[in-house]
A and B are shown apart, each in its own frame.
Chain A
Amino acid sequence: MIWNKQSECMDSTTKKALQSERLVKLVRYVYDNVPFYRARMDGVGVSPDDIKSIDDIVKLPFTTKDDLRDNYPFGLFAVPQKDIVRIHASSGTTGKATVVGYTRADLDVWAECVARCMTMAGVTDEDIVQVAYGYGLFTGGLGAHCGAEKIGATVVPMSTGNSKKLTTMMVDFGATAIACTPSYLLHISEVLRDEGLLDQIKLKSAVCGAEPWTEKMRNEIEERLNIKAYDIYGLSEIMGPGVACDCEYHEGLHVCDDHFYPEVVDSATLNPVADGETGELVFTTLTKEGIPLIRYRTKDLTSISRDTCKCGRTSVRISRFKGRSDDMLIIRGVNVFPSQVEAALVDVKEVTPHYMMIVDRVGNLDSLEIQVEVDLNYYTDEIKGIEALTKKITHVIQQALGISAKIKLVGPGTLQRSQGKAVHVIDNRKLY
C-alpha cells in the first residue's frame, strides 16, 4: 500500500522541478521573515535571487542546533506567534530546550508524512493502533497519533510508562499495530510472555523509532511477536517522526523528499559526499511555515540512494544510521548530551564537575548510571547525608535530562581526567 502515489512515486524530473520551485520560494520566505537567515545569507553573500533550482542549495549556509539555542525560544520562527498552533521541544546541548513551532498547515504536512510512513508499515483504516510514544513536548506521541488518525485508524493514545495496561488493552482491544521505541517493544514482548498473553494478541505491525536500532533487534521483535517491524525516523527540528520510514523491503528509509530535502555531507569539510558514501545527513524543510530550516545538520551519519525501490516508491532512501557525528546519546528515546550533565552538576557544590555516564541495555531497557565525584571538601559523617546528596543529584539530573539516572558517588580524583578530549560516556549498547 502506498498512501500518496502521486508524491511517493513521482518521476525524478517532476520531483526535481517541484523541489526547485519549493526551495526558491522557501529561501525568499526565510530571507524576508527570519532576520537570522537574512543575516546569515548576507554574511556569505548569497541573495534569494541566486537560488534558481534545487542544485543551488549548496550555496546556502548550514543551520545547527546551536543556532536554535542561540535564538531560543522563538527567534527562528517565520510567522507571528498567533499563527503558531503547536509547540514541541527536545533536548538542547545545554540547559535550554530546542523549541519548534507548527502552523496549522505544518501539522497537516506532518500528519500526511506520518500517514505515508504508517501506510508503508501496512497500517490502514481497519487497524487499531496503540501509540506508546510519550505524549507531550516530545514529538513522538502526538506525531504518530495525528498520522494514524489521518489514515483513519482507531488510535489508542497509550503514551509511555504503564506496560501492564498496554498489554491488557492490546489483548482486550485486539490492537493490530503499535508505535513505540524498539527497545520498549522488546520490553513489551517480555511482559506479554511473562503474562502468558503472547498467543492472545492480534498485533501485525510495529512502527518503531525515536532511537537507533539494529537489524538484529528487528529480527528479535518480529520473531518474538510474530509481526513486521518498520523503522520510522524523524527529529523535532525538522518535524518529528515521519521524516522517513522503511517499506516492506527494508532497503533503507524512504524520505518524504517533497517536504524534506536530504543531503549527505562530509561532517568535517561540509562538502557533499557521493551517493552511497557515508556522511552527515542534512535536511532543508521545503514546505514548513512555522520554523523552516535551511540545511539543518542532523549529526546523524548515513548514506543516500536514489534508485527506485522494489515497492515502487521513487523517493530518496537513507540507509540505517551508522552513528552520530556529535556526542548526543539517545536514551529511552530521549536525546541526551553529556554537556547537559556537566551544566547540571556545576550547581551542586558538593561534587566536582567530573562525571562518567555509563549507558547500557538491561532487559531491553536503557539504563543510565552517572558516576559523580564528591568534592574533596565535601563532608558528612552520616550515611543519610550521602543519601540526601545522591537524591539531590538524581533530582537535578532528572530535571536537566528529562530522564532518570542512577547516581553513583565516587571518591575525589577517581574519574579519568581529561587528556585532550575527555571521555565522559561509556555506551555498552551496540546500536549501530
Chain B
Amino acid sequence: MAKQLSVFIENKEGMLKKVLNVLKVNDVNILSLSLADTTEYGLLRLIVNNPELAREKLIEAGFSSMIAEVVIVKIPHKTGSLQEILEILAEENVNIEYTYALTTDNIDASIVIKTNDLEKVRKIAIANGIDTVTDEELVALH
C-alpha cells in the first residue's frame, strides 16, 4: 500500500501552478502526477516523497486535500505486461477507479491503482508474484 496526495482545484488558470508552488517551497518532490479534469474543477493526484507534510502545507495554503491509499504495482518494460496484470484483476472482479503511471527505476515501470478493495489487489499481486512498491521504497527513491 502507498500514500497518494489528492488535491481539489478549480479548473481555472494558475491553480495548478499555485499547488505546485506550495510543494516546491516545502521541498516536496513529485514522483508522479495525474490530473483528472471536468469543465469546472480538477482532482490532482500526486505521489510525493512526503505526503503528510505536503497535505499540511496545502491546507495551510487553502487547498482542500487528502491522503488516499493506493496500490503501486511494478510492471516490466515489455509489451503487454500492463494488460496481463489487468487481466488478472478483471478475473478477480476488481473494478479499477483510476490508474496512472509512475517511474520507479530504470528497468521497470509501475502503475498506481485505486480500487474499492486495495487489500484484495495486494493479495492478488502477491499470489501472482507481482511486486508492489511500499512507502519505504518510495522514500528511498530520492
Contact = CB atoms under 8 A, between A and B. Distances in A.
Interface of A: 374-383, 386, 408-414
18 contacts: A374-B8, A374-B64, A376-B59, A376-B64, A379-B6, A379-B8, A380-B43, A381-B43, A382-B97, A382-B98, A383-B36, A383-B43, A408-B40, A410-B10, A411-B10, A411-B62, A411-B63, A411-B64
Given A410-B10, A411-B8, A379 B43 contact: no
B43 A378 contact: no
A382 B38 CA distance: 12
Contacts, number: 55
A413 B8 contact: no
A412 B9 CA distance: 9
A414 B114 CA distance: 30
A103 B63 CA distance: 57
Contacts of A408: 40
A379 B114 contact: no
Contacts of B41: 386, 409-410
A379 B4 CA distance: 13
A383 B64 CA distance: 14
B64 A412 contact: yes
A196 B64 CA distance: 51
Contacts of B15: 411
A248 B64 CA distance: 58
B66 A381 contact: yes
B130 interface: no
Which of A378, A379, A408, A414 gathers most chain B CB within 10 Å? A379
B64 A378 contact: yes
Which of B6, B8, B40, B45 gathers most chain A CB within 10 Å? B8
Contact of A375 (B10, B64, B68, B114): B64
Which of B15, B41, B45, B59 gathers most chain A CB within 10 Å? B41
Given A376-B59, A380-B66, A409-B8, 7 more contacts: A374-B8, A376-B62, A379-B65, A386-B38, A409-B40, A409-B41, A411-B8
B68 A381 contact: yes
B19 to A, nearest CB: 10
Interface string B83-110: 0000000000000011000000000000
A412 B58 CA distance: 11
Contacts of A375: 64
A416 B83 CA distance: 49
Nearest to A413: B62
Contacts of A386: 8, 38, 41, 43
B45 A381 contact: yes
Nearest to A374: B64
A243 B114 CA distance: 62
Contacts of A382: 43, 97-98, 114
A408 B38 CA distance: 11
Nearest to A377: B64
A281 B38 CA distance: 47
A410 B63 CA distance: 10
A113 B63 CA distance: 57
Contacts of B97: 382
A413 B65 CA distance: 14
Which of A380, A411, A412 gathers most chain B CB within 10 Å? A411
Interface string B33-47: 000101011010100
Given A374-B8, A409-B41, A410-B10, A379 B64 contact: yes
Contacts of A412: 62-64
Contacts of A413: 62
A88 B114 CA distance: 52
Interface in B1-24: 4, 6, 8-10, 15
A234 to B, nearest CB: 38
Contacts of B98: 382
Contacts of B6: 379-381
Contacts of B40: 408-409
Nearest to A379: B66
A199 to B, nearest CB: 40
B43 to A, nearest CB: 6
Nearest to B18: A411
A411 B9 CA distance: 6
A380 B64 CA distance: 9
Contacts of B4: 381
Contacts of B45: 381
A224 B46 CA distance: 56
